[in-house]
Amino acid sequence: MRFPPRAGWLLPQHWGFLPHLKRSPLTTFDSVAVVGALRLQCRLQYDQRTRFWSEFLSNTGRPAHKWTHYFPAYERHLERFVNQPVTLLEIGCGRGGSLQLWKRCLGPFARIVGVDIDQRCSSFEESQIEVRIGDQSDPGFLASLVDEFAPLDVVIDDGSHVMSHICASFDALYPHTTGVYVVEDLHTAYWPEFGGSLGGHTFIERAKALIDELHADYTHGALAPTSFSQSTLSIHVYDSLIVFEKGRHVHKHAPIIGAEPADRRAAYRRAARRLITAFKP
């Protein structure tokens, strides 16, 4: 239902889909209850679409620092973790506000782990929030995070934004991530002070190669399937933000389903057979 509802929805003749209203005349109580329920429903749907954005805008806790255009992506990729017993690990605590933001958005069962090189971030610990101090490019430190917190449902890399650091964290943590891996602020991939340059050894170039790797099954052996290709369902590239969605592939196949005239069905089947022979996993 759209929000706000069209005024027409408020007229009793549009409420016929409610069975008990068809049988009995509308009472004042009914009208108030139905209008209330409709408004609540609209409100809930409206809020759920902007949960992360609303929490960010109304933040009165520690300061959080995020680009506004990331929020639709957070809503899209993190909504399914709300009220679930998840572990979210964020590299880069800043001033502590984003850790509190994830805690408020994800609800009472979420375990939030903040990672930072700055010792002062230890003070951000509170109920549901733990902080570990170390360098996101240090394989030993990353292994200790895996030992202590894996499996990780969500990882958000908002740390140094240095290309080699992003890659080191990705190499160590991605295999132990089960849900979503987010890399923020990738405009730094074009900035030399972060190890960036157009077409250089950047995480953007790495992500381009990972798009090929995701399709390894279709490359006639040019690329061997990897743990990445077998555990990644999708790669979403936004302005300065890349989101990897993990999951298990089931049998890949493309059935034709539906009714159609026999001659067209035969033609489609011939074309489909050509496509399927081209796909030799």
Ligand X SMILES: C[S@@+](CC[C@H](N)C(=O)[O-])C[C@H]1O[C@@H](n2cnc3c(N)ncnc32)[C@H](O)[C@@H]1O
Under rule CB under 6 A, residue 117 binds ligand X? yes
Kindly tell me which of 79 and 135 has the beta carbon lying closer to ligand X. Answer: 135
Kindly tell me which of 35 and 143 has the beta carbon lying closer to ligand X. Answer: 143
Taking CB under 6 A as the binding criterion, the range among 9-17, 94-102, 171-179, 189-197 that sits at the site for ligand X is 94-102
Under rule CB under 6 A, residue 135 binds ligand X? yes
Give residue 217's identity as a one-letter amino acid code.
Answer: D
Under rule CB under 6 A, residue 189 binds ligand X? no
> Cα torsion at 22, 25, 29, 31 (round to 10°)?
60
Rg (CA), the chain: 24
Under rule CB under 6 A, residue 97 binds ligand X? yes
Under rule CB under 6 A, residue 100 binds ligand X? no
Q: How far is the CB of 51 from ligand X (least distance, A)?
A: 17
Number of residues that bind ligand X (CB under 6 A): 21
Burial of 123 (0-12, 13-18, 19+ CB in 10 A): exposed
Under rule CB under 6 A, residue 94 binds ligand X? yes
Q: How far is the CB of 92 from ligand X (least distance, A)?
A: 3
The half-sphere exposure of 205 on its side-chain side, counting CA atoms within 13 A, is 12
The whole-angstrom separation of Cα 275 and Cα 271 is 7
161 has catalytic annotation: yes
Q: Which residue is closest to ligand X by CB?
A: 94
Select the residue interacting with ligand X from 55, 92, 188, 243 (CB under 6 A): 92
H helical segments located in 155-261? 163-173, 203-214, 227-231
The half-sphere exposure of 77 on its side-chain side, counting CA atoms within 13 A, is 28
Q: Is 131 helix (H, G, I), strand (E, B) or coil?
A: strand
Pick the catalytic residue from 161, 165, 220, 251.
161
Select the residue interacting with ligand X from 3, 12, 48, 65 (CB under 6 A): 65
Cα–Cα distances in angstroms (integers) from residue 84 to residues 36, 44, 113, 153, 154, in the given order: 28, 18, 15, 10, 12
Binding region for ligand X (CB under 6 A) = 64-66, 90-94, 97-98, 115-118, 135-137, 158-160, 165
Residues annotated as catalytic (active site), given as ranges: 161
